[in-house]
Chain A
Amino acid sequence: MVSIDVIESSPSRLRVRLGGVDRAYANAIRRIAISEVPTMAIDDVVILENSSVMFDELVSHRLGLIPLKTDLDRYNLPEDCDCKNALGCPKCRVLLVLDAEATDRILTVSSGDLISEDPESKPVSDIIPIVKLAPGQKIKLEAYARLGKGSEHAKWQPTSVSTLIETAKPDEFELCIESVGSLSAPEIFARAIQRIQQSLTEIAAQIKA
């Protein structure tokens, strides 16, 4: 019989004991938690001004890696969105702006300086450093975040840890998921299972057809 025992559950960490499941199925949950559960991350950056020592590609790369709080019910993956617009629509993208200037002393621009148009989709932490500005340097940009999957780029991975380990009993595994903060660990788990079910249903339908 399939059984699930929750050993530990918090928004950042979930540990469950899975009994009576196939190893392949259990591992699929682990893998999908890493690569197929969508999260929000900055993907397109329009640099209006950048006089820092860090050049545009690098700033963009760093912005992308900042985990953003994600509400999967409010946003669509761009490929599934019905706006069919290359620029996206409010249902599939979020605009964040950054405008910082160092005047008299060195300024560390951090994730907290990003202003999001959607207060719910903001960086999970305000103290992630983006770039240091020397007096006189300025950075001004528009960043567009969208949903994406870990299989495309690691910035869309919702997990920091995702392990499946064996226990003393056969056919029993311990799954541990730690979140980077964009989604809660239990939600990642739930979404991962949903995702598997969806795939399986699709396959089943195709086999029938």
Chain B
Amino acid sequence: MLLLSLCSGGGLVKMQRAQTQTQYDAWPVLQDILTREGVARQHLNSYNEFIQRGLQSIIDEIGSIDIETVGTPYKVKFSKVKLKLPRVVEIDGSVSNILPLEARLRNLTYASPIFVDMTVEEDGIVRESQEQHIGDLPVMVKSDRCMLATMNPQQLVEVGEDPKDPGGYFIINGSERVIVGLEDLSPNKILVDYEKVGGVTNYKAKVYSSIVGYRAKLDITLKQDESIVVKLPSSPVDLPLVVVLRALGLETDKEIAQAVSLRPEIQDKLEVSFEKASEAKTTKDALMYIGNRVAHGMLDEFRLRRAESVLDWGLLPHLGKTKDDRYDKAIFLGEAVNKLIELRLGQIESDDKDHYGNKVIKFAGQMIADLFRTAFRNLARDMKYQLERTGQRRGLNVVGAAIRPGIITDKLNNAIATGNWGRGKVGVTQLLDRTNYLSTLSHLRRIQSPLSRSQPNFEARDLHATHFGRICPSETPEGSNCGLVKNLALSALISVSVPSAQVVAKLYDLGVKPFKEADERMKLDGCRVFVEGRFVGFVKDGDALARSFRKLRREGQIHPHAGVAFFDSPFEGGTKRVYIATNSGRVLRPLIICDSGRPTLAPDIIKRVEAGQLNWRDLVQMGVIELIDANEEENSLIAIDFKHLNEKNTHLEMYPSAILGIAASIIPYPEHNQSPRNTYESAMAKQSLGFPTPTYPFSTYVREHLLVYPQPPMVKTRSTSLLSLDERPTGQNAVVAVLSFEGYNIEDAIIFNKSAIDRGLARSIFYRLYEAEAKQYLGGMKDTFEVPRPEANIRGYRGEKYYRLIESDGVVMHEAQVGGGDVIIGRTSPPRFMEEYKEFEVKGPYRRDTSVGVRASENGVVDAVFLTENDEGGKMYKVRVRDMRVPEIGDKFASRHGQKGVIGLVVNQEDMPYTEDGIVPDVIINPHAFPSRMTAGQFLESLAGKVSAIRGKPVDGTAFTGEGSESLEQSLKEAGYSPTGREVMYDGRTGRKFAADIYIGVVFYQKLHHMVADKIHARARGQVQMLTKQPTEGRARGGGLRFGEMERDCLIAYGASMVLKDRLLDEADKTEVHVCEKCGLIAYYDAKQRKYVCRVDGDNARISTIVIAYAFKLLLQEMMSLNIAPRLTVKDKV
């Protein structure tokens, strides 16, 4: 098993309480950030950016389509794009705006129509112009296009929404889908690395050049023979570097060498490359060289054109796609090679792929842009095809008719509904986790790595120093996805893209000299400056530039999301570089700016934030806090807390426990636990039952759990209130004693007090939704909701008693008690194939029973019946059945410290142990749960819980800053309890005092959604599979319990052959087969002739009947189908 290595509890304890608890507490600022922005801000920003800019830029990229007709050709121009409000088009064509609630209830897609202004142009003369509907774009809930975004909490309640719902997901066909953040290498950045393959070292530089919705990878390799080659996505072969540079317009060797570097030791390394390119002396030659390789054997002119398009479209498209951009590309390529050679010479270190500065996270906006780009191109191509086919007729009406909006709508809907992004990308979207409120929040902050989970990828799974404050160190799954699936820390913010033009202008003001203007001296040892992957020029002192850039940013002259990092090589001779990042998807974290050992964020400013007079954006504008990305952090010296702040520090941490993610931040005293325990709890918290949404009276989730009496934890962390977990709790506070109880709590079992259960402890409700729609079929036939009648010739009629609960409209009544198999929605459907009955049936057409029954293993009460209509005009019923789940033996529970267990025994109150005060525990756990797991946090929580009960208010157990054990012990002492947390207890059965004092306190327990009622299963006789005649598998199909190989081995070893035969033959797939003794092949019994027939030996056959497994009969027949004659030799039993 792979485990994420973690800053161990011990180390973190050192950055501990005493001093952080002192006066300086910047928590209100962090609280302001998260409450104002919400946990789904990264999704919303990304999506909003797409609809504001991305959409238009993708349409502009195509711009227009040329319609080449026989007569006069014309042009269809696309200009302004507009997104209207989310709507539904009913079957009768009427259009109405919808809200998310309606989409969820009616299984609709929450999507907005996209309109594009289209112009028909003939010979440059504008003929007509009109906006046209090109398709529907799914709308992210609470994005700028969503109707909910501007509503206040009261209005949200009125439209049936949870005011605390974070949004950030889509609703496709009624189900909520999240596009999980996808980790990716930074775009437009030159990353150099070396790899050793069988003793050969290859040095590589990689650039992922990206524009909206498209990316091209550039690969430059410095081979063993010192030659440098370039690999482009549109070229099948590697191209020599010098050829590419020459093709880009650098004719002379001098120009080429200078584009790389002026330093002789670097230019020397180009020698081999120049030799290899000796056949291409001019730009024309070089282009032809490339043309010969990408379009081999074509016309000269065509080869040239292809070569140019390879350079313009396939090479570094982020620098532009026209002829004018080739010079910039050459310079950029030169710099990439420079960096590569510097690595080869050992002047710089290779780039770290796992450094978070080299990564970005792609959210919904970028992902949808990818899709939309291809979909829109398909649409344009389809339009062109249609219009050229229609020929002479023209004008907007024709253009309007040639648009098939389904191309875009279906592509987007399908991709989001299935998570299938094309090109092998699957699982991009997931169904939003609504187990409880916490799991929803955590799901929206999840990040996936594209790396394969079947490969080890050890480094990628490790916790990296740059994850600090960005990625939660605890919250990651165990097993194959360990370290690949991550979660954002509370303090993490995702950058939005900043227009780089003004940033570049500021840089030139600050003394940056463009490549062409820079003098030789600057080119030789100046610092290179990059903005968003664009090489913008040289500057003398990079460090000073970075500092003045930061100053401007703090003054509010530059967008706060722009990052700057100065890179100095640790080795002699390395080029110095300044990178300015303006792209979206970088993980930023807020830090307090410090000036000569004092935080500029003064305590009185924090007070004003707390009072609501200032918000965190004001603080950014004031220049007292700033958002730092992982690269810029490398230039900073950050004090861990106020006490450790000194003159050298540039920044101060905002709040220590904000390095944790959503799930880990609810653990009280996590710094006292062994680190994997926090990881386990982070996974389990998402399975606990609670109060997922206050809309439960009309929610239509397929499965939903609700805890009847949810309680906010008595030992809180600061994030429980921040994340509204006080209003949407996930468990209950239980009085927990740590002692053994007759062995019924060994192996992590827990003992429950029966009276506590009677009073409602851990009671929950399970809702299941059953759904049926009346479809309309071709030929005018329809499904109907009705009570199927036996006399109506219905196929699959189940028997009268199953329909007893449904009424004349075909649906059960509200509050009816239903059990396994009972029909709750009666429905009949027309025959599948019209011809089916004509030949064989005498009775004429029949209908099929397609009623919906309660699952065989479930029962409950009909809680709600929803009747509605989908957008295809079909009537639709949704019936919700509820079942109250009272805790029973086998139900799973867990504390917040990765201590899980199932109920082993439910004990009457009078048998339970009691304290001298008469306190009877709700739960008894076994002391063996602690020594090996070292979850000291649970002991502290127990102690703090007791103190909380005494004080009558919650205790703060926040990581690193929570109330310490000294003060808890003091409180216990004052209340007359032992500071150890132990108490004298008596055995309820005998009234005898226990020899030892018992540790007892209040611990928050979570009921996990693995309940016995959902899993209990047994079978005597039942269904068999059609193919093999063996019992079916699985509880849902009433399956058998597998008598597997190991069980078989036991019986063989024991010699219990009768039992063996009984299990594997008699009670499995016993069959009688007729075998011809002469040929050994299978014969059969002909019922008409009343005799056994062997097709080989005819009348000479001697046939006997044998008993074999049906699976064996199948094997024989399968072999026969392969032209093998398996012959059985039959002998008499002696």
Contact A176 B909 (CB under 8 A): no
Verify if A166 is at the interface (C-beta below 8 Å from B): yes
Which of B708, B863, B989: most chain A CB closer than 10 A?
B708
Distance in angstroms between the alpha carbons of A151 and B991 in the assembled complex: 18
Verify if A65 is at the interface (C-beta below 8 Å from B): yes
Known pairs A34-B910, A155-B758, A163-B917; list 18 more (Cβ under 8 Å).
A23-B992, A27-B991, A31-B910, A31-B988, A34-B909, A35-B910, A55-B861, A56-B815, A57-B884, A61-B760, A153-B758, A154-B759, A163-B914, A163-B916, A163-B986, A164-B986, A176-B918, A178-B918
CB contacts under 8 Å to A, within B985-1001, are: 986, 988-993
Verify if B908 is at the interface (C-beta below 8 Å from A): yes
Contact B755 A157 (CB under 8 A): yes
Residues of B within 8 A of A34 (CB): 909-910
Verify if B952 is at the interface (C-beta below 8 Å from A): no
Contact A53 B918 (CB under 8 A): no
Q: How far is the CB of B1059 from chain A (nearest CB, A)?
A: 43
Q: How far is the CB of B732 from chain A (nearest CB, A)?
A: 15
Residues of B within 8 A of A26 (CB): 991
CB contacts under 8 Å to B, within A133-188, are: 150-151, 153-155, 157, 160-166, 173, 176, 178
| A-B residue pairs in contact (CB < 8 Å), sample of 14 | A23-B990, A31-B911, A34-B909, A34-B910, A53-B697, A56-B861, A58-B884, A61-B760, A150-B909, A154-B909, A160-B918, A161-B917, A161-B918, A163-B914
Contact B759 A65 (CB under 8 A): yes
Q: Chain B 986-1024, CB within 8 Å of chain A: the 1/0 string?
A: 101111110000000000000000000000000000000
Residues of B within 8 A of A23 (CB): 990-992
Verify if B882 is at the interface (C-beta below 8 Å from A): yes
Q: Chain B 899-914, CB within 8 Å of chain A: the 1/0 string?
A: 0000000001111001
Residues of A within 8 A of B754 (CB): 154
Which residue of chain A lies nearest to B756 when distances are taken between CB atoms in the complex?
Answer: A154
Residues of B within 8 A of A166 (CB): 993
Residues of B within 8 A of A157 (CB): 755, 909
Distance in angstroms between the alpha carbons of A34 and B815 in the assembled complex: 35
Distance in angstroms between the alpha carbons of A164 and B815 in the assembled complex: 46
Contact B918 A163 (CB under 8 A): yes
Q: How far is the CB of B236 from chain A (nearest CB, A)?
A: 66
Verify if A24 is at the interface (C-beta below 8 Å from B): yes
Q: How far is the CB of B463 from chain A (nearest CB, A)?
A: 44
Which of A164, A173, A176: most chain B CB closer than 10 A?
A164
Distance in angstroms between the alpha carbons of A24 and B188 in the assembled complex: 82
Which residue of chain A lies nearest to B863 when distances are taken between CB atoms in the complex?
Answer: A55
Q: Chain B 743-772, CB within 8 Å of chain A: the 1/0 string?
A: 000000000001110111001010000000
Residues of A within 8 A of B861 (CB): 55-57
Residues of B within 8 A of A163 (CB): 914-918, 986
Distance in angstroms between the alpha carbons of A24 and B708 in the assembled complex: 39
Which residue of chain B lies nearest to A28 when distances are taken between CB atoms in the complex?
Answer: B991
Contact B697 A24 (CB under 8 A): no
Distance in angstroms between the alpha carbons of A162 and B765 in the assembled complex: 32
Distance in angstroms between the alpha carbons of A154 and B755 in the assembled complex: 5
Contact A24 B918 (CB under 8 A): no
Tally A-B pairs: CB < 8 A. Answer: 70
Q: Size range of the interface on A?
A: 20 to 34
Verify if A122 is at the interface (C-beta below 8 Å from B): no
Residues of B within 8 A of A154 (CB): 754-756, 758-759, 909
Interfacial residues, chain A to chain B (CB-CB below 8 A): 23-24, 26-27, 30-31, 34-35, 53, 55-58, 61, 65, 150-151, 153-155, 157, 160-166, 173, 176, 178
Contact A164 B759 (CB under 8 A): no
Contact A55 B991 (CB under 8 A): no
Shortest beta-carbon contacts, A-B, top 9:
A27-B991, A161-B918, A154-B758, A154-B755, A31-B910, A34-B910, A163-B918, A164-B991, A35-B910
Residues of A within 8 A of B815 (CB): 56
Residues of B within 8 A of A31 (CB): 910-911, 988
Which residue of chain A lies nearest to B886 when distances are taken between CB atoms in the complex?
Answer: A61
Contact A35 B909 (CB under 8 A): yes
Contact A24 B755 (CB under 8 A): no
Residues of B within 8 A of A151 (CB): 908
Distance in angstroms between the alpha carbons of A27 and B986 in the assembled complex: 11
CB contacts under 8 Å to A, within B912-930, are: 914-918
Distance in angstroms between the alpha carbons of A150 and B765 in the assembled complex: 25
CB contacts under 8 Å to A, within B938-997, are: 986, 988-993
Q: How far is the CB of B761 from chain A (nearest CB, A)?
A: 10
Residues of A within 8 A of B991 (CB): 23-24, 26-27, 30, 164, 173
Q: How far is the CB of A76 from chain B (nearest CB, A)?
A: 23
Contact B986 A165 (CB under 8 A): yes
Distance in angstroms between the alpha carbons of A53 and B882 in the assembled complex: 14
Which of A151, A161, A165, A178: most chain B CB closer than 10 A?
A165
Which residue of chain A lies nearest to B912 when distances are taken between CB atoms in the complex?
Answer: A34
Distance in angstroms between the alpha carbons of A37 and B756 in the assembled complex: 19
Q: Chain B 856-889, CB within 8 Å of chain A: the 1/0 string?
A: 0000010100000000000000000010100000
Distance in angstroms between the alpha carbons of A169 and B760 in the assembled complex: 40
Say which residue of B697, B908, B915 sits within 8 Å of A35 (CB atoms).
B908
Contact B918 A162 (CB under 8 A): yes
Residues of B within 8 A of A57 (CB): 861, 884
Which residue of chain A lies nearest to B763 when distances are taken between CB atoms in the complex?
Answer: A61
Distance in angstroms between the alpha carbons of A141 and B914 in the assembled complex: 38
Q: How far is the CB of B916 from chain A (nearest CB, A)?
A: 5
Distance in angstroms between the alpha carbons of A130 and B990 in the assembled complex: 37
Q: How far is the CB of A35 from chain B (nearest CB, A)?
A: 5
Distance in angstroms between the alpha carbons of A91 and B494 in the assembled complex: 71
Which residue of chain A lies nearest to B864 when distances are taken between CB atoms in the complex?
Answer: A55
Q: How far is the CB of B564 from chain A (nearest CB, A)?
A: 54
Contact A55 B916 (CB under 8 A): no
Contact A58 B759 (CB under 8 A): no
Q: How far is the CB of B280 from chain A (nearest CB, A)?
A: 79
Distance in angstroms between the alpha carbons of A157 and B986 in the assembled complex: 20
Distance in angstroms between the alpha carbons of A24 and B915 in the assembled complex: 18
Q: How far is the CB of A32 from chain B (nearest CB, A)?
A: 8
Distance in angstroms between the alpha carbons of A31 and B914 in the assembled complex: 12
Residues of A within 8 A of B863 (CB): 55
Which residue of chain A lies nearest to B882 when distances are taken between CB atoms in the complex?
Answer: A55
Contact A58 B708 (CB under 8 A): yes
Distance in angstroms between the alpha carbons of A173 and B755 in the assembled complex: 25
Distance in angstroms between the alpha carbons of A57 and B765 in the assembled complex: 10
Residues of A within 8 A of B988 (CB): 31
Distance in angstroms between the alpha carbons of A101 and B988 in the assembled complex: 45
Contact B758 A30 (CB under 8 A): no
Say which residue of B759, B884, B990 sits within 8 Å of A27 (CB atoms).
B990
Residues of A within 8 A of B884 (CB): 57-58
Distance in angstroms between the alpha carbons of A208 and B248 in the assembled complex: 116
Residues of B within 8 A of A30 (CB): 910, 991
Which residue of chain A lies nearest to B696 when distances are taken between CB atoms in the complex?
Answer: A53
Q: How far is the CB of A22 from chain B (nearest CB, A)?
A: 10
Distance in angstroms between the alpha carbons of A31 and B763 in the assembled complex: 26
Distance in angstroms between the alpha carbons of A58 and B697 in the assembled complex: 14
Distance in angstroms between the alpha carbons of A53 and B863 in the assembled complex: 11
Residues of A within 8 A of B760 (CB): 61, 65
Distance in angstroms between the alpha carbons of A80 and B861 in the assembled complex: 33
Residues of B within 8 A of A56 (CB): 815, 861
Distance in angstroms between the alpha carbons of A171 and B633 in the assembled complex: 73
Residues of A within 8 A of B915 (CB): 163
Distance in angstroms between the alpha carbons of A44 and B864 in the assembled complex: 23
Distance in angstroms between the alpha carbons of A155 and B757 in the assembled complex: 11
Residues of A within 8 A of B908 (CB): 35, 151
